[in-house]
Structure 1
Amino acid sequence: MNTPANRAEPSLALGMVGNCAISALVDAQARIVWCCMPRFDGDPVFNALLQPGSEGSSFAIELEDFAASEQWYEPNTAVLRTRLTDVHGNCLEVTDFAPRFHARSRFFRPGMLVRRVQPVCGSPRMRVRLDVLYEWGECRPAITRGSNHVRYVGSAFALRLNTDAPVTYVLSGEPFTAHREYSFLLGADESLAEGIADTARYFEQETLSYWKRWTQRLHLPLEWQDAVIRAAITLKMSLFEDTGAIVAAMTTSIPESANSGRNWDYRYCWLRDAFFVVRALNSLSEVGTMEDYLRWLGNVVAKAADGHIQPLYGIGLEQELPEVIVPHMAGYRGMGPVRVGNQAAEHFQHDVYGNIVLGAAQSFHDKRLLHPGGNAEFARLEQIGTMAVQVYGQPDAGMWELRTRARIHTSSALMSWAACDRLAKIAKVLGLAERAKHWHSHAQRMRAEILERAWSPARGAFAESFGGSELDASVLLMAEVGLVAPADPRFVSTLDAMEQTLCDGPYMRRYEAADDFGKPETSFNICTFWRIDALARVGRTEQARGIFEAMLAVRNPLGLLSEDTHATTGEMWGNFPQTYSMVGVINAAMRLSAPWDSVI
């Protein structure tokens, strides 16, 4: 039997299920190895991803005499299926999802995971291993049982497993023959209104229907549709719908490279990352996520009474996210430390103001929205523009969140320009000629200075900071946000210099200079996608397509990406699934795909 003692070490060959309230990561053998409750940034009640071996917790459906498995998503949905086969040819299938569908004029998205297990062939013998841990693995729950449920009671909250499987076997871990379908519903400590099996089947049917209808409304490119659909669903699941926040990833402390110590907690909302998520989904005509995010963003702006806005917040608008190390957890593959919280919340990252304006700009131009931007929203956005002007040209930690070095980063200055540029365009749409003139003048001044002070004659490229000479992939955003034309010889020269300095084959690193931890060992996926975008913009389409295909090839078997890729092994590193990376898949496909009118 495939027991915990002989399982392979943790990997990122994981599937994600979620419903915009909670999420879980499921490995290739149907083990839930990561799940935070009661929300994305909560307590990891299943933590085996970061605590391998008997000290960790997971929810496993194990097959006796296990031989092989296959895993896939039901097409166009977030419903995951895993088929387990034993050495005798017996087979069972595990279906995982978090319920999400429209009911009673609202989205029904309980903090619940549903697992349905059914025999497919022969007489498979299965074992249920459900280990819940609280308080980051330090506390075991008090367990009580009923005829069809088990309660796992912690000091802060309790979980209830409703199941029609034998409760005795669930608690003992004793194997038993799966002669029929079994359902497991793990969530809040509440009784079900209807029968267990009926509820599970109904939830699956409605959840499948929701995701298929949601996908049906997407505006897809002609090529790479499966990759785009999977990326879009993953981004949607990264929305914490209760507040509108969008998390950067579902995990903490997956290192950027082996034993690097670059282990961060990404379960929060970065304004920068969220803007790119919103824009990618907007390109697919999915504007609902943007409206949810703008609701959250409006509260961020309203709360910033002193004008300063942090680069990230908790998904409930928490400002203080103190970074601490969990000493008793081993970390991913034993590569600690495990961190909770993120010190970057204390940073001054001046690109944040531009990201706010960019994230809100479409709401003033898009007639489809239920709550389009108007004069009142513009007035609040002008306050952000004022901050962008004030911080322009001041040293900061930069978008890569350097902890011990401050410079006037080109990317931060670029976003201040973007804030002023977009405010001028919004004012024009609203018929506010004087305000349009005001913001346009700021944008003109900033643009001229950026083009002069960021240019390094010695490198023949735009540098990462004013007066600097080191290269940084974030400078490629100059064309993406419109500061320079892609055909500008200076931009083309910058791209050429970066390809010589920052690229390892198809992959691209963030920067060439050493940081607080030395020089990065892995490529940063979003930088590779920026390169793809830049190549396409300058007309090197075939090269861009080749690099895009290389990136698609290093996704995990379910089409998901983490933050980083090792250029030699192709292995994924960094937190998972990384929204920024999934954004890159959508953006590249939309830019590179052949047009629909080429086939119809």
Structure 2
Amino acid sequence: MKANTSIPNLNLGLVGNCSYSALIDERGSVVWCCLPRFDGDPVFNALLDPSEQAALWAFELEDFARSEHQYEPNTAILRTRLYDSQGQGIEISDFAPRFWSRNRTFRPLTLIRRVRVLGGTPRVRVVLRPRFDWGRHKPEVTRGSTHIRFVGPGQTLRVNTDAPIEYILSETFFVVDRPLNFILGPDETLTGGIEDTARAFEQDTAAYWRHWTRSLSLPLEWQDAVIRAAITLKLSLFEDTGAIVAAMTTSIPEAPDSGRNWDYRYCWLRDAFFVVRALNSISEVATMEEYLRWLNNVIVRSRGGHIQPLYGVGQEEQLPEAILGHLAGYRGMGPVRVGNQAAEHFQHDVYGNIVLGAAQAFHDHRLLRRSGRAEFASLEAVGEQAFRVYDTPDAGMWELRTRARIHTSSALMGWAACDRLAKVAATLGLKDRADHWRERAETIRERILREAWSEERQAFAESFGGRDLDASALLMAEVNFIDPRDPRFVATVDALEKSLSDGPFMRRYEAADDFGKPETAFNICTFWRIDALARIGRKSQAREIFELMLRSRNPLGLLSEDTHAQTGEMWGNFPQTYSMVGLINAAVRLSASWDTVI
């Protein structure tokens, strides 16, 4: 029987617990969920499979009329309400358990779905169709009195439920006249009753997230937006190793039918640094501590040599890129890719992102384990590599596959590595090393100011001796390379607004790449623009653009990678950590002070 599915869109909610995640659409259908980890097999894949064979988990309301969904405030619990034409309805509560138990964080590979009646006698059918091996394998199904098992290659899933098993297996409509509970997870027997377990897990999960959000240091304005962004960033942490993924999806096109379809379910060192920095700005340092565990492994194993721009969440170096031809892709806009060739690239900004990500651990007295001289010695090896390669061609931060240049953004991060090492050395009382790294930072600084400046464009260009413009030049102020009131930086902002802005939105660069010129605006670039405008004194313009970006979020407050300037539609992988980082940074920079109201 065919499931009632609408055209896929990114009005999705994210639930998760730092072990796995699931994306749920406006009608309460699970359309994406990878197990046993973020970059694993999507056991629900309807987001990328428009066929009748799509793997999804839906609660279909007979005579469906409308739906609405929202998060339980200050939590990662999602509520979806479905109504029929007579006003009868149900509410679906979705969450992944996460709470403290026995002095540790309990975060099982479990999705809990609770259904309650809102009014009347609504009829519902449960469409529960997991698949394995990227949708190629239909599982063997077995049943018990209160559970269903889905047996596939490499993993078996079990759904424990107090709903009628026969109706679920036959996908038959039935009257919902009492609360129903569904617990999807590993093939394990519950230790307690189904309803009792689901209720207790929901209460404890809600309490965990409310306690977590309560500890945040929020700006006065836009608090709900910042809380939602912060929870989303937290859910992007794979807590077992400390890796932070760039997004939960693969192959959502950056623009319609563009072919710019990539797998973002991995840990980019650049993106992870900005996630850590954004959360630190609102006093959430636990994520940084987890990430530093993962990052330290990368640093030590590199032995002062080449470091990849990204790795798998388990530190996998090999992420071979392949196209899955049996999946049509998001709205039929393939290809669907798994793996990412960018792991093979040379992107020299990575060394600066490592040092920037690690530097706070030498200065912050709140941390359970501060870094010291041993960690500094390992970090110096990264700095030496940064200095060796800062003025050599690379793929750049945008991972250009067929063009290598000496990118300004890469040199800028090389400067940041040396500058932060000098500051760390001073904190550790190592005067000779502080002098050494200050000298190297100044060497790079002079080269950038001299060779990245374009007299023709009256702006810092995207490469040494080049003339093309790139929004990454805006990072010069963010990493404190240049005074934002410096006439050269102000002129660069003006030039970028003229060449890369589509109204309030901003594209990444102006030169054509492997796929031509970018069609959509890259959200983080728009947020960099907001930050730069605020720094140079154009705060009212920055606030105006920020308010528009807030309206560009989906109804649940989430952002993808890109925004189409003409249609306002979201494109690119989702939810994009870079975009949620920009939201937090902008709110913190632009908000009025708490002193104005207390």
Q: Give the secondary structure class of the aligned counterpart of 1:235.
A: helix
CA distance in 2 between counterparts of 1:53 and 1:11 reads 15
Structure 2: gaps spanning 5 or more residues: none
Give, in angstroms, the shift of residue 53 of structure 1.
3.0
Provide Cα deviations, 1:139-179, integer angstroms capped at 9, x if missing partner: 01111100000000111111000001011111110011111
Asked if the contact 2:268/2:311 (under 8 Å) is kept, the reply is yes
CA distance in 1 between counterparts of 2:7 and 2:85 reads 22
Q: Give the secondary structure class of the aligned counterpart of 1:127.
A: strand
Query: 1:147 — aligned with what?
Result: 145
Query: 1:245 — aligned with what?
Result: 243
Query: 1:365 — aligned with what?
Result: 363
What does 1:136-535 correspond to in 2, within 5 Å?
136-305=134-303, 307-535=305-533
Q: Give the secondary structure class of the aligned counterpart of 2:394.
A: coil
Q: Give the secondary structure class of the aligned counterpart of 1:297.
A: helix
Asked if the contact 1:5/1:53 (under 8 Å) is kept, the reply is no
Q: Give the secondary structure class of the aligned counterpart of 1:81.
A: strand
* 2:79 matches 1:81: yes
Give, in angstroms, the shift of residue 7 of structure 1.
3.2
CA distance in 2 between counterparts of 1:229 and 1:506 reads 24
CA distance in 1 between counterparts of 2:301 and 2:150 reads 37
CA distance in 2 between counterparts of 1:515 and 1:435 reads 41
CA distance in 1 between counterparts of 2:428 and 2:497 reads 42
Query: 1:127 — aligned with what?
Result: 125
Provide Cα deviations, 1:350-389, integer angstroms capped at 9, x if missing partner: 0000000000111111000001111111111101001101
Q: Structure 2 length as normaliser, TM-score?
A: 0.99
1:397 aligned partner, one-letter code = A
Q: 2:60 aligns with which of 59, 62, 69?
A: 62
Q: Give the secondary structure class of the aligned counterpart of 1:136.
A: coil
Q: Give the secondary structure class of the aligned counterpart of 1:53.
A: coil
CA distance in 1 between counterparts of 2:457 and 2:502 reads 19
CA distance in 1 between counterparts of 2:119 and 2:413 reads 58
Give, in angstroms, the shift of residue 8 of structure 1.
2.2
CA distance in 2 between counterparts of 1:89 and 1:292 reads 47
Give, in angstroms, the shift of residue 4 of structure 1.
5.1
Give, in angstroms, the shift of residue 304 of structure 1.
1.5
CA distance in 2 between counterparts of 1:434 and 1:92 reads 68
Give, in angstroms, the shift of residue 52 of structure 1.
1.2
CA distance in 1 between counterparts of 2:465 and 2:277 reads 31
What does 1:522-561 correspond to in 2, within 5 Å?
522-561=520-559
Asked if the contact 2:304/2:385 (under 8 Å) is kept, the reply is no
Provide Cα deviations, 1:164-197, integer angstroms capped at 9, x if missing partner: 1011111110011111001000011101110000
* Structure 1 moving runs of 4+ over 4 Å: 3-6
Q: Give the secondary structure class of the aligned counterpart of 1:161.
A: strand
Q: Give the secondary structure class of the aligned counterpart of 1:54.
A: coil
Give, in angstroms, the shift of residue 473 of structure 1.
0.1
What does 1:38-49 correspond to in 2, within 5 Å?
38-49=36-47
Q: Give the secondary structure class of the aligned counterpart of 1:40.
A: coil
CA distance in 1 between counterparts of 2:449 and 2:526 reads 24
Comparing 576-585 and 3-12, the one that deviates more:
3-12
CA distance in 2 between counterparts of 1:446 and 1:353 reads 14
Asked if the contact 1:4/1:53 (under 8 Å) is kept, the reply is no
Provide Cα deviations, 1:399-423, integer angstroms capped at 9, x if missing partner: 0000000000000000000000000
Provide Cα deviations, 1:2-53, integer angstroms capped at 9, x if missing partner: x956532100000000000010000000000000001100000000000013
CA distance in 2 between counterparts of 1:201 and 1:139 reads 33
Give, in angstroms, the shift of residue 306 of structure 1.
6.1
1:184 aligned partner, one-letter code = F
Query: 1:598 — aligned with what?
Result: 596
Q: Structure 1 length as normaliser, TM-score?
A: 0.99
Q: 2:31 aligns with which of 19, 30, 33?
A: 33
Asked if the contact 2:303/2:381 (under 8 Å) is kept, the reply is no
Q: Give the secondary structure class of the aligned counterpart of 2:52.
A: helix
Asked if the contact 1:256/1:564 (under 8 Å) is kept, the reply is yes
Give, in angstroms, the shift of residue 209 of structure 1.
0.3
Asked if the contact 2:96/2:112 (under 8 Å) is kept, the reply is yes
CA distance in 2 between counterparts of 1:99 and 1:386 reads 44
Provide Cα deviations, 1:201-235, integer angstroms capped at 9, x if missing partner: 00000000000000000000000001000000000
CA distance in 2 between counterparts of 1:320 and 1:156 reads 21
- When the two chains are superposed, the root-mean-square deviation of aligned CA atoms in Å is 0.8
Query: Identity across aligned pairs (percent)?
Result: 70
Asked if the contact 1:51/1:329 (under 8 Å) is kept, the reply is yes
Give, in angstroms, the shift of residue 310 of structure 1.
0.2
CA distance in 2 between counterparts of 1:34 and 1:149 reads 22
Asked if the contact 1:21/1:241 (under 8 Å) is kept, the reply is yes
CA distance in 2 between counterparts of 1:6 and 1:235 reads 32
Provide Cα deviations, 1:53-99, integer angstroms capped at 9, x if missing partner: 31211000111111111100000000000011111111110000000
Give, in angstroms, the shift of residue 392 of structure 1.
1.3
Give, in angstroms, the shift of residue 305 of structure 1.
3.5
